[in-house]
Chain A
Amino acid sequence: MAKYLIKRVLTALFTLLVIATITFFLLRAIPGGPFTREKPLPDAIIRALNEKYNLDEPLFIQYLSYIKGLLTFDLGPSYRILGYTVNDIIISGFPTSALIGGIASLLIVVIGIPLGIVSALKQNSPVDYMVMFMATLGVTVPNFIIATLIIYIFSTQLGWLPSNGISNPLGYIGPVIALMGYSLSFVSRLTRSSMLEVLRQDYVRTARANGISERKVIFKHALKNALIPVITYVGPMVAAILTGSFVVEKIFAIPGIGRYFVQGVTNRDYTVIMGMTVLYSAFYIFMILLVDLAYSWIDPRIRLEGGAR
């Protein structure tokens, strides 16, 4: 187990390095730079700025010094948000994004999976149709439309929720729902279909034939296997949700980190893009590792490569 973990962590670090490298060179391939303005700055100023941020050095030297910074968790200064380092930006915005994302992820799991189970158990009943109707609606309406509808109905018309910001705890409701919409629907659909498949399998029939209570059949025997595809989806989803959503944070005016990536790309703020990419990738890889560990816990037949027999 320990050997497996060490191997996976090393691979993860290597993958992270590869992603950082590709993003680094891809960014420099995009025309324009962090100091390109619609009204061009004087050459002397650009030269001075490039010198200040070491952007005048050969690309490979810049790359090496960036990687060196990365190894010491120094993500460098932002070129456009003056006076802030990327570390500052992440420290100030990430807790907010992570809190909203964390609530959303938790609710997706806590609501989505039971809904899926219920509609699988009551297949073709009104409950099933209701859940599936909501789920279909959820995957077909883009989140920026859900977000604006929430603001329109609950903030403007009814006045129940604040229309932006999170100074009031009620302010979390809108963003969390907008963030959940798609994934919640997807998770409940996925749970339902994989549950239906598992319930038709022989070992479930055997368990029932042996007279094991229905409750035990569902929760002890069927659910565990049915959760495997769900966990495969939920892992990367949590990484995506925790690191903030540009759309939701923009609409609800939330000071998270979701907007920095898109802003960074349009501004060619190299270090910010790199920082956000590395942060997201690190989360993503970590979640996939967790998912793999969860597999072997749920289904002992799935053995971890190099794990103890």
Chain B
Amino acid sequence: MAKLNFDKVPKKDKLDTEQTRKSLTYWQDVWRRLKKNKSSMVGLVGVVIIVLLAVVGPWISPYDYSDQLSDYSNLPPRLDIREVGDTTFHVTRIYRLLELEDGIIVDRYNELEVDVINKINYYAKEIVLPADLENTSTYPLPATETLDANTYYSESWGIALTDGEYTFGDDAILVTYIHPDSPLHNLEFEGGPYDISDAVYFSELTTIANYGEANAADQQFDIDLGAESIVEKLDETQFIEEIRFFEAEVKLNYSYGLLNDNLVPTEFKDVDYTIEYKGDESLYTTDTIANKLFYFGSDSQGRDILTRVLYGARISLIVALIATLVNFIIGVTYGAVAGYLGGNWDNVMMRIVDIINSIPLVLWVILLMVVLREVVIDVTIAGKNYVIFRGTSGLGTIAIALGTVYWVAMARLVRGQVLGLKEQEFVLVARTIGVSNYKIISRHLIPNALGPIIVSMAMMIPAAVFTEAFLSFIGLGVSAPQASLGTLANAALSGFQSYPFKLFFPAAMIALMMLAFNFLGDGLRDALDPRLRKG
């Protein structure tokens, strides 16, 4: 075969470029692999956004985490509004009337409100007392019953009343005892039992003294006047139609929502409340608009939930970060030393780890919190006193408590890595040329075990957030007015049925944080140690 039959391949067709790839260091390679993994990039972006929000958010926000606008408590993120004529109103769940202008709350009917609320409740509740109530004898207080101070007892009606407070914080009169023979006992109304305490709970008469001639000395008083007037009112009143906010000429009537169903006229059955203003009347919610005062709503103290959530994320992240750092420093050092020294040292050190591992977390946290509460670490430099650590805040304490519990897992991991690494030749070489133990551990062993350490740290952060949320939930969290996400969620639980938004936002933030860190951690694990790649 003649040589002439073959042509030389032109230079541009040679497969030169494809054969070699730029050589990458381990970390460059990790970064390349991480970038290829979609979910971990989502996680990374999420983590960056959350950290930015947590760091910058509370600064940008017009509110401070502890700012209270107590007039505007428990406002939801979306307000139901009523447009009456040219004016817009919002009525809160406890029937407070707010006026809005361009979606912003501008006015509130402050002074008259408490009286009005009491009055309407009084009528609305008392309407359902049977009208033919009579007392035929007297009912002396049995010797077995003792009354608290400030409690008054009526012999003619067999009922004990005391000044109290209704849930909203308004004054009320509470029924604390009913004589078993009294006609007020086991009342029946419309075939069902009727609780008298409901009827007297709310009252326009805000102190006992108004109920009759109270005799404080023997705690006896006559309720006749009060009871009669109740009965009289039953006769003459069907239901109250309107409540006037006199100065503003707004009439807010929410008796329909409170009344027993069969007392409400059919056309008002599904009416919660009506607003009448300058001759116009509104029966139904006209629109819902975003709450421009508090975008995520406000809590029971009138604090901005958005700011609190961002601030809570910051606290949770700080706790997680400190815990992870403590965990890193103690765990890595301890594990590396135990693994490197080996033998009896290893044995003893690992048994100590086992013992620490067996202590219940809650016990440990409480012990640390109680002990650290007293501790103040400060330094005096040039006559000035700087406090480095103060246990009272709860923040440092909980972070340290978490860190000192979690390092155990890290120590185990590092020890395992070191046990394998220390048998390798490069360690032997280092030893032969007389490198100190400290340098072998810090320069040779730990950097080589860094992959799994980083993965474990990335997974540590969500675990710490989770545990911190749990500890806050059982009441061991950071102390008020500071609040972590866990504290926020815990505080929102009590009024959860009425104000779900208070729980929703912190819970969503926790879930988002966990998701982002988990995704990132999974991705890091795959990138740092391809052998561990799952699926």
Contact = CB atoms under 8 A, between A and B. Distances in A.
A247 B473 contact: yes
A123 B535 CA distance: 8
Interface stretch (B6-14, B51-59, B158-166, B364-372): B364-372
Given A23-B363, A26-B367, A246-B474, A139 B514 contact: yes
State the main secondary structure of chain B at its contact with A. helix
A139 B496 CA distance: 23
B534 A197 contact: yes
Interface in B427-485: 462, 466, 469-470, 473-475
Interface in B505-534: 507, 510-511, 514-515, 518, 534
B360 A148 contact: no
A18 B355 contact: yes
A19 B362 CA distance: 15
B358 A144 contact: no
A132 B362 CA distance: 31
B514 A247 contact: no
A151 B486 CA distance: 19
A145 B518 contact: no
A142 B493 contact: no
A67 interface: no
Nearest to A143: B470
B84 to A, nearest CB: 30
Interface centre among A137, A262, A281 (most CB of B within 10 A): A262
B497 interface: yes
Contacts of B248: none
A26 B469 contact: no
A307 interface: no
A142 to B, nearest CB: 5
B489 A140 contact: no
Interface in A121-162: 123, 136-137, 139-142, 144-145, 148, 151-152, 156
Interface in A221-279: 246-247, 251, 261-262, 265-266, 273, 277
Interface in A141-197: 141-142, 144-145, 148, 151-152, 156, 192-193, 196-197
A142 B470 contact: yes
B473 A140 contact: no
A38 to B, nearest CB: 15
Contacts of B469: 142, 144
A148 B474 contact: no
B370 A156 contact: no
B144 to A, nearest CB: 23
B134 to A, nearest CB: 40
A279 to B, nearest CB: 11
A32 B370 contact: yes
Q: Place the interface of chain A in its size category.
A: 35 or more
Nearest to B360: A277
A221 B511 CA distance: 38
B370 A140 contact: no
Contacts of A120: 535
A145 B370 contact: no
A197 B534 CA distance: 7
B140 interface: no
Contacts of A156: 497
B366 A31 contact: no
B470 A247 contact: yes
A85 B466 CA distance: 34
Contact of B507 (A123, A145, A247): A145
Interface of A: 15, 18-19, 22-23, 26-27, 29-32, 120, 123, 136-137, 139-142, 144-145, 148, 151-152, 156, 192-193, 196-197, 246-247, 251, 261-262, 265-266, 273, 277, 280-281
8 contacts: A26-B359, A120-B535, A140-B462, A140-B511, A145-B503, A262-B362, A266-B475, A277-B360
In the A-B complex, the 5 residue pairs with the smallest Cβ-Cβ separation, listed nearest first, are A140-B514, A193-B534, A145-B507, A196-B535, A19-B358
